[in-house]
Amino acid sequence: MSVTALQMAAAVNAIANGGVYVSPSLVKGSATTAYGQTVGSDVATSRRVISRKAARQTAEMMEAVTDPQEGTAPAAAIEGYRVAGKTGTAQRVGEDGIGYDGTFTVSFAGFAPADDPRFLVYVVVHDPKNGGGGGTVGGPAFHKIMTYLLRKYAVPPTGAKAPDNPLEW
């Protein structure tokens, strides 16, 4: 399976939005294309793609990813905030298009605060030179970017404790 960064960010955003998919836009407000089409966040469409309950349960599972003791991306955690995330590691197809070439693409997608999402950050690294997966490579970059956003926009620290759900069912 293959997705673009924008598709993956939109999917994770649907979880953060309580199960509602919002068509992504790179234009804040609205603009008219050369073909006369109006685009932008002012005309973005939305629709429910999963139930509110399923989105909440998924977000809670995603919070376990940043758990300092048991998570796969503890470096993505941000002191004082509930953070939800998902790591990714994929083999890359070789130039011949026939098989894998031994390199990887790793990623980390997350949102914060997990209990009242304000921002989503998606980090993708192609062929990381130091090895590692999405948690060890993308997690620290996510941490830096999300910390900057939370401070810049004065998002208060999370007041609620993260759910203590089992990591195995």
pLDDT, residue 154, reads: 95
Contact 120, 111 (CB under 8 A): yes
Query: What are the tokens at 7?
Result: 């598709």
- What pTM does this model have? 0.86
Q: Which amino acid is at 94?
A: G
pLDDT band at 94 (very low <50, low <70, confident <90, very high): confident
pLDDT, residue 158, reads: 82
pLDDT, residue 38, reads: 94
Domains in the chain: boundaries: 5-152
Architecture of domain 5-152 in CATH?
3-Layer(aba) Sandwich (3.40)
Report the share of the chain in percent with pLDDT over 90: 75
What average pLDDT does the segment 67-90 reach?
Answer: 94
Question: How does 77-112 read in b/e, with b if 16+ C-beta sit within 10 Å?
Answer: bbeebbbbbbbbbbeeeeeeeeeeeeebebbbbbbb
What average pLDDT does the segment 76-83 reach?
Answer: 95
